[in-house]
Amino acid sequence: MSKTFLKLVADITKRTDSRIVLALDPPFNPYSLKKPEERQRERLNTANRVKSLLAELDGLVSGVKIGLPLIFGLGLDLVEEIINASRKSYFFICDPKMADIGHINGLEAAQLFDVGFDALIIHAAVGIKGGIDEVVSLAEEMDKGVLGLCAMSHPGASEHLNKHFNELLEIAARAGVDGFVVPATYPHLITSAKNAYPSSIIFAPGVGTQGASFGSALAAGADYEIIGRSISQAPSPAARAREILREIKETGVSIQKIALALAKHHCVMVGEFKLTSGLMSPYYIDLRATPSHQELFDLITSAYVAELKSLGLSFDRIAGVATAGVPIGALVAYKLQKPFLYIRREERTHGTKSLIEGVINPGDTVLIVDDAVTTGGSLLKAIEAIRERGGRVEYAMVLVDREQGGAQNLAQKGVKLISLMTASRLMQELYRHGFISKEDYEKVIRYIQESKGAQAP
Ligand code: BMP
């Protein structure tokens, strides 16, 4: 493990407050030109364009990842010039996706570290002995970092590589790497990596052009999102990076802030609790008091609003589920300028005998809002009540998914669950920031994993 690399990453991020690593893969092939002087001119032009791009993105991006296409095209001397020109602004990761025998890996790594890369990426699949080990020991000698690639983002990765994710993660961790590369297009893998190694640093590619939304990998537990074409090929890369940063902050970073604020205000507790569903749980989330903490309440309701805006869903009304879903839903509805109604816990014993308080017109689409979901029992009751009144329900939204079958049970009724964070993600943040002990963290994660898929009562 390289303290220097991790410190460099932390120092630069503190200055930029950006969780973006730029993947630098400009389309460029000097070998399509036949004359050596033309090739050289093309190389110098590209190197200059890259230098100005990096000058433009200073402060917006924390790291730069350079892969083989640019290294082949420019040669390592020009890559060294690029690194030296912005050495103070970024940490530089080389991405050769190394996968050879240790001796050859070592020969490659020595050159890459000598030209100034701070870390490099190696396939965990190559194994430790006679594979990763020589790179890790060389990196230790040279005070550089090594990142283990444990899964990939493209669809074919699920044919073989990603099936072995847990083993690869374990190999990379045992080899003593400084961090993992885990794809944003398979966010559950990011969450399992963070569950298993909560203090590790995770870099997630596949955001933007490959389909994962900006901030989604951070929300799943990654520390950095690796973004290439969405920034480098935008007409104005700096303006696009600024927009993306805003989107990331609205989703990914606000989740961390919410998790810490929940812990600070004792809205998450560990111990022995009986849930509304009757299940026992080693942790409890109580969001009923959140409106009493103005800053926390604003963070939570703003996160609902930001997520709904980024998903671009259309609906006519918002329905809050009693108890905690009522104040949250009411404020979200107010912020989105939508009419609000709510679902009672028990039918009224007099008057209308209805579970619903508020107006629904037949055919209205209603978004249901609650604080958390376990098996989905309360949400299913709310869905039924709204449908009985002629309303249409396609989406239900919660802050925390306790991962105990809620999403699956709702899906069976044709409703998609949108959750801002999973309980595992919440626990990772609490553990990472010292709000819960390692024993409690492991106990809760074990409970979540064992109780996954529980059925609605
Ligand atoms: P883009 O955002 O343009 O899709 O770029 C993604 C970058 O991340 C590329 O440099 C690619 O090599 C890298 N990458 C990836 O896309 N998926 C992976 O699984 C691993 C990667 O390193």
Whether 268 contacts 289, CB under 8 Å = no
Ligand 1 centre and the CA of 201: distance in Å?
17
**By alpha-carbon position, which residue is closest to atom 12 of ligand 1?**
67
Residues 6+ apart with CB under 8 A from 418: 307, 308, 311, 395, 396, 397, 398
* Ligand 1 mean position, distance from CA 25 (Å): 9
- In the DSSP assignment, the letter for residue 61 is B
pLDDT in tens, 293-338: 999 999 999 999 988 887 788 999 999 999 999 999 999 999 999 9
Count of beta carbons in the 10 Å neighbourhood of residue 238: 17
Give dist(CA 170, CA 165) in Å, integer. Answer: 9
For the residues 106-118, what does the mean pLDDT come to?
98
Of 311, 359, 304, 368, the residue nearest 336 (C-alpha): 304
Which domains occur in the chain, in start order?
3-233 (3.20.20.70), 264-451 (3.40.50.2020)
- Probe target for ligand 1 pocket from 226, 229, 244, with the most ligand atoms within 8 Å of CB: 226
Atom of ligand 1 at shortest range from CA of 183? 19
* Residue 379 token pair: 């949400």
pLDDT class of 11 with cuts at 50, 70, 90: very high
CB of 120 within 8 A of CB of 7? no
- Whether the pLDDT of residue 256 is over 90: the answer is no
| Bridge partner list, 317 | 366
How far is the C-alpha of 229 from the C-alpha of 455, rounded, in Å? 42
pLDDT band of 454, cuts 50, 70, 90: very low
State whether the beta carbon of 209 lies less than 6 angstroms from ligand 1: yes
Q: Ligand 1 atom 8: the closest Cα is on which residue?
A: 205
pLDDT tens by residue, 200-244:
999 999 999 998 888 889 988 899 999 999 999 998 999 999 999
What does DSSP assign to residue 454? P
Contact (CB, 8 A) for 143 and 178 = no
Q: What is the DSSP letter of 129?
A: I
Cα angle 188-189-192, degrees, rounded to a multiple of 5: 85
Ligand 1 atom nearest residue 208's Cα: 2
Say yes or no to pLDDT of 126 above 70. Answer: yes
Q: Given ligand 1 and candidates 25, 120, 122, 169, which is best to mutate, with the most ligand atoms within 8 Å of its CB?
A: 25
> Please, is 199 exposed, middle or buried when counting C-beta atoms within 10 Å of its C-beta (0-12, 13-18, 19+)?
exposed
Q: Could you give the CA distance from residue 101 to residue 126 in angstroms, rounded to a whole number? A: 8
Q: What is the pLDDT of residue 224?
A: 97
Measure the CA–CA gap between 322 and 342, rounded to whole angstroms.
7
How do beta strands 416-422 and 119-123 pair? Answer: unpaired
β-pair partners for 179? 147, 201
- Count other Cβ atoms within 10 Å, centred on residue 104: 12
Report the pLDDT value the prediction gives residue 352, as an integer from 0 to 100: 63
Query: Is the Cβ atom of 228 under 6 angstroms away from ligand 1?
Result: yes
Half-sphere exposure of 123 (CA within 13 A, CB side): 15
Here the tokens at position 202 are: 């995770």
328 lines ligand 1 (CB under 6 A): no
**Contacts of 343 by beta carbon, 8 Å cutoff, 6+ apart:** 319, 320, 321, 322, 325, 355, 356, 357, 368, 381, 382, 385, 386
Query: Does the pLDDT at position 457 exceed 60?
Result: no
The verdict on the CB of residue 341 being under 6 Å from ligand 1 is no
**Distance from the CA of 206 to the center of ligand 1, in angstroms?**
6
- CB of 183 within 6 A of ligand 1: the answer is yes
Residue nearest to atom 22 of ligand 1 (CA): 205
Least confident segment among 21-30, 32-41, 306-315, 318-327: 306-315
Cα 350 to ligand 1 centre (Å)? 61
- What is the position in ligand 1's atom list of the atom closest to the CA of 121? 22
Mean pLDDT for all residues in the chain: 93
Angle at 230 between CA 224 and CA 233, to 5 degrees: 130
pLDDT at 455 over 50: no
Which is it for strands 20-24 and 224-227: parallel, antiparallel or unpaired? parallel
d(C-alpha 117, C-alpha 415), whole Å: 48
Cβ atoms of residues 190 and 184 within 8 Å: yes
CA–CA distance, 232 with 238 (Å, rounded to integer): 9
Which pTM was predicted? Answer: 0.73
- pLDDT-derived band of residue 386, with 50, 70 and 90 as boundaries? very high
Lowest mean pLDDT among 187-191, 357-361, 431-435: 431-435
pLDDT of residue 350: 66
Question: Which residue would you say has higher pLDDT here, 354 or 28?
Answer: 28
- Judged against a pLDDT cut of 70, whether residue 252 lies above it is answered with no
**In the chain, pLDDT over 90 holds for what percent of residues?**
79
